[in-house]
Amino acid sequence: MFFDGYGYHGTSFEQTYRCYPASFIDKAQIENGDKVIMPPSALDRLASLHIDYPMLFELQNAAAERSSHCGVLEFIAEEGMIYMPYWMMENLLLQEGDFVRVKNVTLPKGTYVKLQPHTKDFLDISNPKAILETTLRNFSCLTTGDSIMVAYNNKKYYIDIVETKPSNAISIIETDCEVDFAPPLDYKEPEKPALPVPTGKAPAEGQELPEETEPKFNPFTGVGRRLDGKPLKTLSPPVSSSGPQDKRTNASSGGAAATSSSSSQSTNRQSQGKLVFGSNASRTREPQKDTSKETKQEPPKKEEPKFQAFSGKKYSLKG
């Protein structure tokens, strides 16, 4: 069977066309999907064949040994011509007017696909998952190794198809497919901060570093200041130095008082009793002389003047 010089044979559809981008036919919407526009003669041939729906096709560029897969949107192209998205022509390394082989195929439903954005800008979108789901509704199949285009907010984002399961080409029409993301191509891991290298010698293995001694808390390490602004004396306060001297003077006076009281008591006893022994009287008189000598030998020490606060002179306002 022949249609306008183009022959179709066999039980499958396979034909060669000249490819052109979608801008040649004013069908800009096909840039957001993977569907092509074929001539009406292709529809007549496909209708006579018992093929599976939806119609899926394999595109081959024999010159560059590249292949991809697509769906069909309409059959309104001129005979011998096919219109496809420009990003699909880039994947197949096709130029305007190059020949492409079109063959109908049946693809399994996909269960898993791994995507990799070209740039980190795609991840900066507020909700990239929702944008991707909306875009993939215009796709009928995915092929490992292709780069699809996602248009959003007047900007184009390219995404690589890294992996597909259960085969290298899958159908994504009416199927639940698990989607995974790989890091963008321009993503760089943050560099770890380099550890400071000590200038001294490194300790040998098994040798522990000496522990740093923590400074102990020392209370009352401040400097005292006077209220009148005068400098402090470095000498110790006179109260502490005069303390033991006062104790010594008190002890000596107390000892003298004790000896005088004991001597007076002994004299009173001698006068009141009937028997008077001279030895006791002489013994009691001798220590009195010794104590008097000791007290005479120690000269009285001069006490240092104590600090008296508010000892200044007063002045009256009258003069």
Q: What are the boundaries of each domain within the chain?
A: 1-106, 107-188, 251-296
Q: Identify the CATH number of the domain defined by range 1-106.
A: 2.40.40.50
Spell out the residues 6+ positions from residue 59 whose beta carbon is closer than 8 angstroms to its own: 36, 67, 68, 69, 70, 84, 88, 92, 100, 101, 102
Give the CATH class of 107-188: alpha beta
Residue 72 pLDDT > 90: yes
> Are the beta carbons of 15 and 52 closer than 8 angstroms?
no
- The pLDDT-based confidence of 316 (bands split at 50, 70, 90) is confident
Instruction: Say if residue 101 is exposed, middle or buried (CB neighbours under 10 Å; 0-12, 13-18, 19+).
Output: middle
- The pLDDT-based confidence of 198 (bands split at 50, 70, 90) is low
pLDDT of amino acid 210: 57
Residue 183 pLDDT > 80: yes
Residue 257 pLDDT > 50: no
Give residue for tokens 């490819």. Answer: 19
Taking residues 61-82, report their average pLDDT: 93
pLDDT of amino acid 298: 59
- The pLDDT-based confidence of 258 (bands split at 50, 70, 90) is very low
Q: Where are the beta strands (DSSP E) in the chain?
A: 2-3, 6-7, 14-21, 35-37, 56-61, 66-74, 81-84, 99-105, 112-117, 141-143, 147-152, 155-165, 169-171, 178-181
pLDDT of amino acid 311: 72
Percentage of the chain lying above the pLDDT 90 cut:
34
Using one digit for the tens of pLDDT, what is the confidence trace for 123-164? 888 888 888 888 888 999 999 999 999 988 888 899 999 999
| Summary mean pLDDT of the chain | 76
